[in-house]
Structure 1
């Protein structure tokens, strides 16, 4: 499948960031403070990846963590990126399901011809372990207590995601590994 047409439909980083609302402060905290290790920059610039498509949404907490790290990484590598809001691009999203669900973000790495070189997402293993440990005691979705449990998870996750620089680097390493 040639993904160049999808890339052309996407939002630029500036357009995506302009649409941020509730998670803007957290996103910008990560974006402004995450630093790509200097020792990695030359290797990043030599990657075969020539473009990246992101399937994400501005309201997604995991996107708040992962997308600013990706943006900073691609800036250092001089690799263009475009964001496609998942809910408006289900035809593409449905080709990148996780456990048959539309979980985001998903990063699609492309070559010059628009061929997929690889993907990443929806989260680094360390983040998945954190999420699973937090959610293991969640009540079923039908339970009236579910909403409160989810809100607590979202609040705690947002705190950790915006302050845990070790976690940022774990996410970064996992993304860079997927670009190989």
Structure 2
């Protein structure tokens, strides 16, 4: 299957959002609150004529997707990109072509295509600064076999999810990361 075939198979944002069972409210809240800065919009100016199609490999239970997807949508709106969502677990054939570090089915993964279906950029699953935050929080956890590990891991996830929902500076880290990927690989 070509990337354009995968794109055509994807769900619109309405279809994806209506089917969400886990983070719909949280994703929509971020979408409603997030606005691109004028400097971010300026960086996107040169991409408006590209009319990219975007495949978003995602799942609604994913905290990273909860924060990244609405930011991708705002970028797509600013650039006239068409976004389609594919659920990772139902599309492993495509997902396995975009493994993180060659081994992990980490999501979301965004595949930007030109009108002919040629891959122009791939982004995901996290902005570098978000990855650093996650690694820092993980480094504070006890060993995995420690009795308190599960409880502290759940507390870490809760702290991270709250930050994803409330810390607007994290949203802009994601936006800048996606924009930088698009503008540095754009040809």
The verdict on a shared fold, with TM-score over 0.5 as the criterion, is yes
| Structure 1: runs of 5+ lacking an equivalent | none
Aligned-pair CA distance for 1:178: 1.2
Distance 1:174 1:165 in 2: 14
TM-score by length of 2: 0.88
Q: Deviations over 1:40-91 (max 9, x none)?
A: 1661653535100001100000000100100111012111000100001001
Answer whether contact 2:36 2:74 (CA < 8 A) is retained.
Answer: yes
The within-5 A match list for 1:159-178 is: 159-178=162-181
Cα 1:45–1:118 shift into 2, 3 Å = closer
The within-5 A match list for 1:56-75 is: 56-75=58-77
Answer whether contact 1:49 1:117 (CA < 8 A) is retained.
Answer: no
Distance 2:146 2:58 in 1: 28
| Structure 2: runs of 5+ lacking an equivalent | none
Distance 1:157 1:89 in 2: 27
Cα 1:91–1:140 shift into 2, 3 Å = farther
The within-5 A match list for 1:98-117 is: 98-99=100-101, 100-117=103-120
Distance 2:98 2:49 in 1: 22
Moved over 6 A (4+): none
Distance 1:31 1:49 in 2: 21
Match of 2:137 among 130, 134, 137: 134
Aligned partner of residue 117 in structure 1, secondary structure: strand
Partner residue, 2:28: 28
Partner residue, 2:12: 12
The alignment status of 1:78 with 2:83, answered yes or no, reads no
Answer whether contact 1:118 1:179 (CA < 8 A) is retained.
Answer: yes
Partner residue, 1:125: 128
Aligned partner of residue 122 in structure 2, secondary structure: strand
Partner residue, 1:156: 159
Distance 1:144 1:88 in 2: 35
Aligned partner of residue 104 in structure 1, secondary structure: coil
Aligned-pair CA distance for 1:3: 0.6
Partner residue, 2:37: 37
